[in-house]
Homo-oligomer: A and B are copies of this chain.
Amino acid sequence: MSKSTLYQYGTLALLVPGLFKGTKSIGSLLSHGDTGIGTGDGLDGELVVLDGQPYQIDGSGNVNKLSEDFMVPFADVHFADYKDLFELKDFINPQKLEEAVLSKLNYNNIFFSFRLHGNFDKIVTRSVDKQTEPYPKLVECADKQNEFYGENKVGTLIGYYAPQIFNGPAVGGFHLHFLADDLSIGGHVLDFKVNNGMVKVQPFNNLEQVFPTDSNEFMQHDFSKDDVNGAISKAE
């Protein structure tokens, strides 16, 4: 597998109506990348893969190492080969960081990965408890999410940028997760403040988009009634 390929299993859109059942194992996912983000079976937490090790930040905020048979409905992975973009010197929040990254690159129209390891003065994340069938819709889960707050946490921001025309298949714009080095906090990123660390990026020529064709629920679902764009902007 090429280091210029992003492997996406499932689509963000399939989470919108609640197709949360895990249909691919972490073990088979790792053959397509050593770095990434995702969610678990039943929307069971937020996932981070770093250096080939998959972690789950569960709905209570605990960070768990995942076994190879853990199942996922949606994930993005790739083989890490980042390039340094710039060293942070001033305090920066998510919006300013995203603007700074895009302004220094011409990557608006392609997928790329983003990684930053540093000491975060403030980090705010969220995760969701595992849902049971019949699954609720994604926006209903977002209403019940748990938020976690950390100060002076050394850790890694990791995630992806997708071009706006791929909002639906993916999250248009940035989609970032966090994991503290000491595994004390992590999850889907809501806010942060950081003033140190090297911002790294990895652009992709290729998106390998994989569909869960063995899932009858996915194959038979009528997506025409789902407000995918609205749900993504609310929940992600």
Q: Measured between C-beta atoms, what is the minimum distance from A24 to chain B in Å?
A: 11
Q: From known contacts A165-B169, A221-B109, A223-B165, infer whether A208 and B211 are also in contact, taking CB-CB under 8 Å.
A: no
A205 at the interface (CB under 8 A from B): yes
Q: Which residues of B contact A101 (CB under 8 A)?
A: none
CB contacts (< 8 Å) of A103 on chain B: these are none
- Indicate which residue in B106, B163, B206 contacts A210 across the interface (CB closer than 8 Å): B206
Pick the contact of A205: B169, B203, B210 (CB < 8 A): B210
Question: How many angstroms between the C-alpha atoms of A56 and B220 in the bound complex?
Answer: 37
Q: A110-B211, A111-B211, A166-B169 are in contact. List 8 more A-B contacts (CB 8 A).
A: A109-B218, A109-B223, A163-B223, A164-B224, A165-B168, A165-B228, A205-B213, A206-B211
23 intermolecular pairs with C-beta atoms under 8 Å apart: A11-B165, A106-B219, A106-B220, A108-B223, A109-B221, A109-B223, A110-B219, A111-B211, A164-B223, A165-B169, A165-B223, A166-B168, A166-B169, A169-B169, A204-B211, A206-B208, A206-B210, A206-B211, A207-B207, A207-B208, A207-B211, A208-B209, A209-B209
